[in-house]
Every structure is written in C-alpha cells, then in structure tokens.
Amino acid sequence: MKFDFFPRAFEVPAEGGGAPAPSPAPAPAPAPGGVGGGAGTPWYQGKADERIVGTWQNNFPQHVNDPAALAVAATNSWLEAQKHLGVPAEQIVRVPTKADDAAGWEALHKRLGWPGDPTKYQFKDAEGKDVDPNLATFLRETANRLRLDPERATELSKDVLKFSEAQIANAKTEYETKLAAGKAELATNWGPNMATNLEVARAGATALGVDRDIVAALEQTVGYAKVMEMFRLVGSKTTEGKFVGGSKETGTGPMSREAAIAKKNELFADRDWLARHEKGDRTAVNELRAIEQILAASMAA
C-alpha cells in the first residue's frame, strides 16, 4: 500500500495540467458583542471596571460573553471559597494592621465580647456568693484593662480565687506545723513545770498589755517556744507578781506549796473572783500570779 505524506497543496502540477484548487476561506470570527450588547460592544461595557473584567477573563474566560453563565460560575466559586474560610461573612472580623489603631482595636475587642464597662462584670465564689469587694474591684479593673469578655473574666476570677485559697491553706498548714513543733519544744524545755510556767507566762503577757493577736504575730515570727519563755521570764520578774508574804490574816510565814494549791482551788471556786480575773482586775491577776510563782518555785526546788 502506498502512503501519501504530502497534501495536495504541495503537489507539483502535472505537465499540461491546471493549477490546484484553492483552499476554502476560514469562517468569520463571531462578533464580540455577546448577549445584551450591540455588534462589537461587550455586554459589560460601562457596567464593570477593568479590575472586575480582568478577574472574569482570568478565572472564567469561557463565560465572559454570557452573563448568566458567568454569574453561575462566579457564585459557585464564591460558595466554594466560603467553605474554605469556614465562616460566613458576617462572622469575620477585621484585625487592625497597626498597633496604634486605638479605634480599630477597640472595635475588634467589642466584636469579641468585651463590654467596655468594668461594672458589667460580676464575680462569685465557689459557693455562689459575692467575692470580697476589694477583690471584686481588682478583678473588674483587670478584666476591663485586658478587654476580656465576661466569660473569660469569670474564668480569670476562678483561677485567682483558687490560687488565693491555696495560699491561705498552705499558710495555715505551715503555721500549724510550726506551732506544734514549738509546743513540743516547750514541753521538752519546761518538763513537769509546763502548766505552771504557762500561767506565769500569761501573767507576763498581761503585765505587758499584750493581747492574743500580738502573741499570735510574735509566734509566727519568733516561734511559740521563744515567745512563751520570754513571757515567763517577764512574769517571774515582775515586781507586782512576786509573792511577798504569807497569810495576811494569820501573819504566818511564806505560803507552802500545799497552801498555794489550796488557795488556788479556793479562788477558782469563787465565781466573783473568776469574773474579776476574766475582766483583767489587777488585784485578782496579781493574786493568781503570786500563787503560780510559788508553785513554779516549789517545782523547781
């Protein structure tokens, strides 16, 4: 079989033959007017600027001359793009590009839930009660300064309260541990005179006008054992606390241990005397202090 690799247009005419038939003329190009436009006038002329037309030509060249097809293609493209964005347009916020754009940042934070007013924040403790007023003021000012929404501000308050409660619990545990160690040390130092020396120490604290709050503060800084020993020394050396004679009624000599115990029991059975002692009556306080010093001296002898 013979293959002809050359088209007829390139064949040399046979001798005596006529010229080859000319190729047919190409069909004329369609007019660019398209739907809705006159001959030679695009339909979008005067309706869209160069930027939009350029976008159509780059992305939908096959639909540029068909407004309906172009609209469908562009809408489908927008819907697909929205899927990748993940949110509808009304849920998109504009982030300022400059750090000093105060108005822009304020608008952004308000879109994210910042109330813009510290009084809009409400804080409760774990039991649903209002927190301490001073703490509430601090939390409101802090949340407003950080431009938090109420939910995030509540989470902040919970964390602050949890931290504060943990600090208080740790401090209490530490204080109780030190107090127990101090009492054990004092019991070792004072031995069998513990009860008597405690009474003398209380008398010393009373003579100095020291109340329980001051004693507690001293215990936390100096230590329970050292504080009690300090007050014991004060109580034992106070002039008013020394027992200077025996029974005034009988004129006998110094009171014995047994007499001191009996006198103490007698005083403790006297409700009027107890009431005066509880109120800090100086005579009653000095009377008991003197008896305790006698008992302490007899134990040490």
DSSP the chain: -----S-GGGSPPPTT--PPPPPPPPPPPPPTT-TTS-TT--TTTTTS-HHHHHHHHHH-GGGTT-HHHHHHHHHHHHHHHHHHH-S-GGG--PPPSSTT-HHHHHHHHHHTT--S-GGG---B-TTSPBPPHHHHHHHHHHHHHTT--HHHHHHHHHHHHHHHHHHHHHHHHHHHHHHHHHHHHHHHHHGGGHHHHHHHHHHHHHHHT--HHHHHHHHHHT-HHHHHHHHHHHHHH-GGGS---S-TTTT-SSPPHHHHHHHHHHHHT-HHHHHHHHTT-HHHHHHHHHHHHHHHHHHH-
Listed by start position, the domains of the chain span 32-92, 183-300
pLDDT digits (tens, 9 = 90+) for 171-221: 999 989 998 999 999 999 888 888 888 888 888 888 888 888 888 888 888
pTM: 0.45
98 DSSP 8-state letter: S
What's the pLDDT tens digit per position in 232-290? 888 877 634 443 334 434 333 456 778 888 888 888 989 998 988 888 888 888 888 88
Residues in the chain: 301
